[in-house]
Amino acid sequence: MDLFLSTRCPQCGADISFEEESTVVYCNYCGSALHITGRSGVLRTYVAPRKDVQRMKKAIRDGMKQANAKAAVVNEKKLFFAPYWRIKGMVFRWIFGSNVQGETIKDLKTKHLDHTFPAYDGINLGLRSLGIRPGALKLLFFDRSEMTKMGSIIKVVRTFKEAVKHGESMTGVGLDETGIQVHLGRTRLIGERYSIIYFPFWMIKLSIGKESRVLILDAVANRVTRILTQEQWEEMVVKATKQPARVSFSKVSFISFKCPNCGWELPLNRFDIIHVCSTCQRAWMERGGDFKPVPFEAAAPPKGLNQDVVYLPFWVFQAEISSNGQTLKTAADLYRFSLMFPTRPINSTDRRAIRFYVPAAAIRNISAANKLATRVTQNQPAFSRMPREELLDCKFMGVFLPPKAASSMADILLCSITPRNNRNRQDFVKQADLSISKMHLLWWPFYEQRLFIRDALCGCGIQKGAMSVNVWK
């Protein structure tokens, strides 16, 4: 689910809203293009309460019915914000084994993980998860002064390590294998992001004769989540004052979206994490509140290709794979391991170091992204570098996948190229240790072929519908 964030333009003060994954925002009022900084830590946001008096009154009446009270007096009403961890990422699970019929199984299961759970501890507000609602809500960047004007803020007690452990426990949910004897299983959470969402609740204290009841209301849906006695509420208040956890929260700010080298405005592609200046052909990535240069190269398409070409980005890195006293170092080693070219004689290009190729474009179908990465990596293609003076004519697809997420894909790619019916290769992977080096960005030429876009150098393809954006418009 994609959240919508809201803030004020630092140039003119107007309200601007944008998708959670946006790196660049545009103000329709003053025309400013700004790049968001501060995503390296844990981002904090909050949900504003909905002011719906009628629904709140109905919720109170429903609470009275649940408490078996025909009449009650509202003595006190307070708003408070409770923190929830949010974990978002892509889950890959490779399974090698056999089914009940004795058939060999090699299966990749994938899913998008988007999960929330309480960051407070020891208290029960009746809402263990925010569910899918954040996808329909507008979030505001954390602002203590604004939030304390409305109510109080419960401390974050569950640590970042606890959030990571909780996220790992959720990776297998929905990806269980039934009736399969697993020989090799590998599960990875890739590109994970952790954030805190402060969600609003009402505390409404009722007098029912000589007794008191406390209603906890979801301040967005305006519905009762718990009914407590006065003693239970006081106990919850004490538990909510626990020592807060030390979490490295990020500080969000904005920088001007212009090329640091030539001063021209950069292309306004709001989800890209790397921006190529169309004037001086330099690539930039925000790190620590400033744009830093990113080395890159583009592969030249084959001569005689008479079709329009678009360049998809790949993160490319060298890899050495060691296990049980054996080491795979060269392309020839990888060919032998994957059994892709089992009888082909070794040539000069096969002595190059192993390179893994991970597509960095925005691809909505993560299985298709892995398949493309596997096919290009298996081919270990050789290519000529595009001369710098010709880069002006290239149509570059945006970079969506961060380099850290790409390097995390190495283990999944190794499983992808492991033969289905070879137990020796699978045993090798069980104990494999991957050493990654020399990562860089490479734009790779693709051309359109009916429903596919196809790699112009080794023929690997991906359906156009698997891409998150139309690369040919």
Q: Residue 382 — pLDDT band, cuts 50, 70, 90?
A: confident
| pLDDT of the residue at 1 | 45
pLDDT of 132 strictly over 70: no
| CA gap 314, 324 in Å, rounded | 31
What does DSSP assign to residue 240? T
Q: Residue 6 — pLDDT band, cuts 50, 70, 90?
A: confident
| CA gap 429, 417 in Å, rounded | 10
| pLDDT of the residue at 45 | 92
Q: What is the pTM of this model?
A: 0.88
Of the CA atoms within 13 Å of residue 339, those in its CB half-sphere come to 9
C-alpha to C-alpha distances, 472 to 39, 160, 413, nearest whole angstrom: 30, 42, 28
The amino acid present at 229, given as its one-letter code, is T
User: Strand, helix or coil at 426?
Assistant: helix
Percent of the chain with pLDDT over 90: 48
Token pair belonging to 343: 């009888």
| Mean pLDDT computed over 271-282 | 90
What does DSSP assign to residue 470? -
Contact 81, 147 (CB under 8 A): yes
Rounded to the nearest 10 degrees, how much is the dihedral formed by the CA atoms of 464, 470, 472, 473?
150
Q: Count the Cβ atoms, other than its own, within 10 Å of residue 15.
A: 12
The amino acid present at 298, given as its one-letter code, is A
What digits encode the pLDDT tens for the residues 179-206? Answer: 788 899 999 999 899 999 999 999 998 8
| CA gap 433, 188 in Å, rounded | 15
Of the CA atoms within 13 Å of residue 278, those in its CB half-sphere come to 11
Run of H or E including 371? helix 366-379
Q: Residue 472 — pLDDT band, cuts 50, 70, 90?
A: low
What digits encode the pLDDT tens for the residues 213-222? Answer: 889 999 998 8
More confident residue, 108 or 350: 108
What digits encode the pLDDT tens for the residues 290-347? Answer: 999 999 999 999 988 888 899 999 999 999 999 989 999 999 999 999 987 666 666 7
Beta-ladder partners of 199: 82
Q: Tell me which of 44-48, 88-92, 196-200, 268-272 is least confident.
A: 268-272
| CA gap 205, 74 in Å, rounded | 6
| CA gap 356, 379 in Å, rounded | 10
C-alpha to C-alpha distances, 346 to 334, 336, 343, 376, 380, nearest whole angstrom: 12, 10, 9, 19, 13
Contact 338, 378 (CB under 8 A): yes
Tokens 């909510």 locate to 240
What digits encode the pLDDT tens for the residues 139-149? Answer: 889 999 999 99
Token pair belonging to 413: 């790619």
Contact 441, 399 (CB under 8 A): yes
Token pair belonging to 276: 């190529």
Q: What is the mean pLDDT of the chain?
A: 88
| pLDDT of the residue at 357 | 96
| Mean pLDDT computed over 167-175 | 87
pLDDT of 61 strictly over 90: no
Per-range mean pLDDT, top range of 229-233, 315-319, 362-366: 315-319
Token pair belonging to 29: 């009022």
Among 157, 116, 151, residue whose Cα is nearest residue 239: 157
What digits encode the pLDDT tens for the residues 387-410? Answer: 888 888 888 988 999 999 999 999
pLDDT of 473 strictly over 60: no
| Mean pLDDT computed over 248-265 | 90
**Cβ-Cβ contacts under 8 Å for 465 (sequence gap 6 or more):** 365, 451
Tokens 């519908």 locate to 465
Among 473, 406, 389, residue whose Cα is nearest residue 442: 406
| pLDDT of the residue at 101 | 86
